[in-house]
Amino acid sequence: MADTQIEWTDATWNPVAGCSIVTAGCTNCYAMQMARRLEAMGVAKYNGLTRKSGKRAIWNGVVREDRSALEIPFGWRKAKKIFVNSMSDLFHEAVSEAFIVDVWRVMRDTPHHNYQILTKRPERMAEIVSRLIPDVLPNVWLGTSVENADVGHRIGHLRAVPAAIRFISFEPLIGQVGAVDLTDVHWAIVGGESGLDARPIREDWIDEIYAQCDAYGTAFFFKQWGTWGKDNKKRSKKANGREYRGRTWNEMPATLEI
């Protein structure tokens, strides 16, 4: 686990490493390139998780459970928002149910932290949590990624998950989402893609999500424009900034405000 510059969290915790590409939102995933760099640095946990595709590294489907990482959150005495598995997906089909339950026990036993779990496999999350997790933990936030309208069905699966806080990451936002039902969704993160091959974001796509968050009372967090600015010009992520509608949006679920 390490402190992070990700705007909506404080730290990352990776009890799982490795993943698979499932939809268009995965194409330029930062974690693939990071896994390759960590392997080159000699971090054994990330050995053999990617393969070359042209000049890029992409996931090869190997997923590794790291039982030693389960002890890490106990060493953080100061309360943190913790992004769980920034380098994987806890609900990847290769992650065992027993290990997922063990991760839940850690989160239960460290109630001073708030854990943010984000998956592109919310149907597996709904099935496992409903069947194997007896209690809804107030410090566990469960979310799914929705990059465009093609994967809007994930929201219905998310709503089926017993959770104190449900959230959606509309990042990288690479297409229009359309009308979505945000009933019982407490938080939305919106952001454009960054990096060399980043795909553009459009302001009207953001407007559509913002309006629906406003209508449903869903907290709205605008993370970044990314590589493509409001004016559809490429710049650094930092240069394009985080302002939307003339301000910075750092809303959090009602139980936790920045």
* pLDDT tens track for 138-148: 999 999 999 99
Ranges of each domain in the chain: 7-17+64-248
Q: Which residue is associated with the tokens 């980043």?
A: 198
State the average pLDDT over residues 113-129. 99
218, pLDDT greater than 80: yes
Of residues 144 and 254, more confidence is placed in 144
pLDDT band at 254 (very low <50, low <70, confident <90, very high): confident
Give the mean pLDDT of 197-202. Answer: 97
Task: Give me the pLDDT at residue 257, please.
Answer: 47
Instruction: Say whether pTM exceeds 0.85.
Output: yes
pLDDT at 64: 98
Which CATH number describes the domain made up of 7-17+64-248?
3.20.20
Percent of the chain with pLDDT over 90: 95
Query: Is 258's pLDDT higher than 70?
Result: no
